[in-house]
Structure 1
Amino acid sequence: MAARVVLVAGFTHHDVADELWRASPESSLVRHDLSSLADGVVRRWADGRLTVLELAHGCVSCTLRLDLIPLLESIDGRVIVQLDPMLEPEAVCFALSETSVEVEAVVTVVDSATWLGDATGTDSLADRGMRAAEGDERTVAQVVVGQAEFADALVLTGPADAVLTTVLDRLNPDAPRQLLDALDVVSLLSAIPRTSRRGEIDDGFGSLLFGRPSLEPAHGVSVVHFTDRRPFHPMRLHDCIDVLLDGVVRVRGRVWVASQPDAALWLESAGGGLRVGNLGPWERDRDQEVVVITTSADATKITAALRSALVTDEELGLITELDFADPFADWHEEMEL
């Protein structure tokens, strides 16, 4: 048995999963409600039947491992899965990557009225009463940006203004879009390009400019693509992090710090939330690649701050002798939920 899954993500209530299900009557429909997950309770609807699960450890990983994955592995055929608003589809696809389940597509619903404010805001999930567990420190921005960025197709709840359109063009240029009021799910899925990720997880060592977005500024939106062949000074990189958070929609970066020559570090931020992960040993020559999408921050200041964080010629000449203070040494977290 092998399920073919269409994941429907989004931070807003919508009927897209139902539309997909109605367009594919032989499919199954699954919904998850994680609003009580912090108390160890998960509600799941599968083909209209409610199941209430009580977990010893209320966390997203447990929900995926103990419920969703076994359920999907038991189904043969297409399954429409409406994800809880707090779920990022990349984490779900990572969990599915070692199973026989095929991800046919990820469809994300974008609330045209609130998405940009959420994507550049500093509210945490806890501020909205939505965190998945006691230690869930994610921001709303991390969730909504991750949902839109990882999608194969986007459904907008209403017409997008020029700024939102430009941001989505830079964040996910290849994803076809439709308005919710005029949704044709068959044509939407058919419009997904062959090169779309369809649940595939990036290893972090490829180009970070997904879909070749335009780098030209437009409607106040700018893209910084910073590359270099020398390492960052760890303290100076740490000191310039605030520049990567204020007025920024998204940062994705593969970085090399002088204090950890063998480790490729991963920086990722949305709104005011930052993740630092370890990609493992370098798979090729060491380099820097940082992509920043901003709606209000000065792109030239971001570039200048990153460049000033690189080691100097003198430091480079003494790099094996210097003892760098490294605030990133104990800041790594695995890039999974």
Structure 2
Amino acid sequence: MPDPLVIVCGVDRDAVLATGEAVATANPRTVLVAHDLRRLGEGVVTRAVHREGRWTTTALELAHGCVSCTLREDLLPLLLELADDDGVGRVVLLLDPGMEPEPVCEALAHVVPDGGNGPVTEALDLVGVVAVLDGERWLDDAGSDDALADRGLALTEDDDRTVAQIVVGHAEFADVLVVVGGPEPWERVRRDAVLARLAPQARRLDAAGVDAIPDVTPVLAELHPDTRCGVPDDPHGPLLRGQPPLTRDVGVSLLHVGLRRPFHPQRLHEAFDVLLTGTVRVRGRVWVASRPEHALWIESAGGGLQIGMAGRWLADSLAWDDVDEVRRASASLRWDERWGDREQQLVVLLHDAEPADVVAALDLALLTDDELALGEDAWRAFPDPFGLSHTDPCDELEGPAVPVENRGEQA
């Protein structure tokens, strides 16, 4: 049976390290692996391995200063080497604060390094992802538009992600939340209400401080059967994972929006001002009139927004045979005679905004009856800020346009 692999993430290096050391102290034959990416832009990464009570550090020079090179050239081969070592009983991977667990898990499951016979997850059993949260400031960070660079957490000079994107992504993807410290009682209640809706299946451990973080392995052994354990969500799968509370509590609410007509691209863009104010998370797939064959994936955290492609709608017959049976069955259940599977599906987690304001902004972004009657050929000519060339931030600035993939400030 493969040895267990645990991933620990968080923006506090000391807290992440303390979590790993607690596992190593309670479980002999545990190896801790960490990569310090603070000099990534210079093409230098420091690898640290803790084994049998001592740390060994190695400075690595990469041909290209990027996270993917670190994974492919060093981390993945190292994990496969540890998997073959009879003296190793458990591996704990401590992520750099600027790293997100989801792409790491994708690499562990799908990338075969040079000389390997398969991906890491065939050699090690990924039993869970642990997110270490700063209990006192997590909610403020989750709703902010502060840049990673302002906290010294950006991996490269062009890393324009926000702190909210990191801390929300950590919590949402985790199977276990270790919450270190806490704010005043009222803010604690609000924070807990947000976490209950953001990560409803995650187990929770509270620690008074970094020096009081417990061993997480007993909790990892008792996770919910449907816990993700490192498996990313399908962009065309259910958006309400784990049956989160849908009632409003201490001003925190989870809004599910399902609509059956396309958005006008320019008006949807303008609606982002509302979607990015007073919200922790917006995620889902949208149907934009100017590109009727393609589903767009929208994901925000605080004031940061990412927009990407989520493949083709199955209403485009060319895509029907390219997806699995689960998606075909799901689309068939919701099929509309006119629009097929095309629809708006968004989930909005609000902590300081009114659901009615969000619904009103999205309703105004939909095509009117007159616009709808123009037909798809006319829709394609609508001004589209989601095209391949778009100036970001959204001001009339001089200079070349750039693709919209990640935006570190409000639209």
TM-score range with shorter-chain normalisation?
A: over 0.9
Corresponding residue for residue 29 of structure 2? 26
Contact 1:3 1:75 in 2 (8 A): no
d(CA) in 2 for partners of 1:100 and 1:2? Answer: 10
Identify if the C-alpha distance between structure 1 residues 80 and 7 changes in structure 2 by more than 3 Å, giving closer, same or farther: same
Corresponding residue for residue 167 of structure 2? 144
Contact 1:176 1:191 in 2 (8 A): no
**2:376 alignment partner, SS class:** coil
Task: Please show how residues 55-134 of structure 1 align to structure 2 within 5 Å.
Answer: 55-76=62-83, 77-98=89-110, 99-101=119-121, 102-134=125-157
Corresponding residue for residue 329 of structure 1? 387
User: Tell me, which stretches of 5 or more residues in structure 2 are unaligned?
Assistant: 84-88, 111-118, 315-330, 332-340, 389-402, 407-411
Superposed CA offset, 1:222-265 (max 9, x none): 21211112111111101111111112111112111011111111
Alpha-carbon RMSD across the aligned residues, in angstroms, is 1.7
- Superposed displacement of residue 314, structure 1: 2.0
Task: Please show how residues 245-324 of structure 1 align to structure 2 within 5 Å.
Answer: 245-283=276-314, 284=331, 285-322=341-378, 323-324=381-382
d(CA) in 1 for partners of 2:258 and 2:250? Answer: 25
Larger radius of gyration: 2
Task: Please show how residues 163-312 of structure 1 align to structure 2 within 5 Å.
Answer: 163-180=190-207, 181=212, 183-283=214-314, 284=331, 285-312=341-368
Higher helix share: 2
Superposed CA offset, 1:39-68 (max 9, x none): 221111112210111123222222112111
d(CA) in 2 for partners of 1:185 and 1:153? Answer: 8
Contact 1:3 1:72 in 2 (8 A): no
Which piece of structure 1 moves more, 136-145 or 199-208?
Answer: 199-208
* 1:171 counterpart letter in structure 2: L
The 4+ residue runs of structure 1 with deviation greater than 4 A are: none
d(CA) in 1 for partners of 2:128 and 2:214? Answer: 16
* 1:100 counterpart letter in structure 2: V
TM-score by length of 1: 0.94
- Superposed displacement of residue 70, structure 1: 1.5
Corresponding residue for residue 114 of structure 2? none
Contact 2:8 2:131 in 1 (8 A): yes
Superposed CA offset, 1:160-207 (max 9, x none): 610010000010011010112362423321232110001111220011
Which piece of structure 1 moves more, 97-106 or 251-260?
Answer: 97-106
**2:120 alignment partner, SS class:** coil
* 1:97 counterpart letter in structure 2: A
* 1:173 counterpart letter in structure 2: P
**1:145 alignment partner, SS class:** helix
Identify if the C-alpha distance between structure 1 residues 205 and 110 changes in structure 2 by more than 3 Å, giving closer, same or farther: same
Contact 1:28 1:79 in 2 (8 A): yes
- Superposed displacement of residue 135, structure 1: 1.7
TM-score by length of 2: 0.78
- Pick the aligned partner of 2:47 from 24, 31, 44: 44
Identity of aligned residues (%): 49
Which piece of structure 1 moves more, 3-12 or 142-151?
Answer: 3-12
d(CA) in 1 for partners of 2:131 and 2:213? Answer: 16
User: Tell me, which stretches of 5 or more residues in structure 1 are unaligned?
Assistant: none
